[in-house]
Amino acid sequence: MNRASCLRYPFMISLFTILVTDASRLWAQEDMAAESEAPAGLMGIIFSGGIVGAIMIFILLALSMTAAYLIFDHLMTIRQKDLMPPGLADQVRDALVAGDANAARQACNARPSFLSFVLMHGIAELEFGWNAVEKSLEDALAEQSARLFRKIEYLSVIGNIAPMVGLLGTVIGMIMAFQEVASTQGMASAPQLAQGIYQALITTVGGLIVAIPAIGAFAIFRNRIDQFVAEAAFSAQNVFAPLRRKAKRKGAE
Give 221's contacts (C-beta < 8 A, 6+ positions apart): 74, 78, 152, 155
Residues in the chain: 253
Distance CA 201, CA 174 (A): 8
Whether the pLDDT of residue 162 is over 90: the answer is yes
Domain ranges, ordered by start, for the chain: 42-245
Residue type, 151: K
pLDDT at residue 26 is higher than 60? no
Query: Could you give the CA distance from residue 115 to residue 231 in angstroms, rounded to a whole number?
Result: 9
d(CA 98, CA 111): 20
DSSP 23-41: HHHHHHHHHHHHHHSPPPS
Res 191: pLDDT: 65
Which residues lie closer than 8 Å to 120 by C-beta, 6 or more apart?
Answer: 105, 108, 109, 140
Q: How far is 18 from 121, CA to CA, in rounded Å? A: 95
Radius of gyration in angstroms for the set of CA atoms belonging to the chain, rounded to a whole number: 36
Please give the single-letter amino acid code of residue 41.
G
When comparing pLDDT for 219 and 125, which is higher? 219
Secondary element (H or E) of residue 63: helix 50-77
Q: How confident is the model at residue 208 (pLDDT cuts 50, 70, 90)?
A: very high
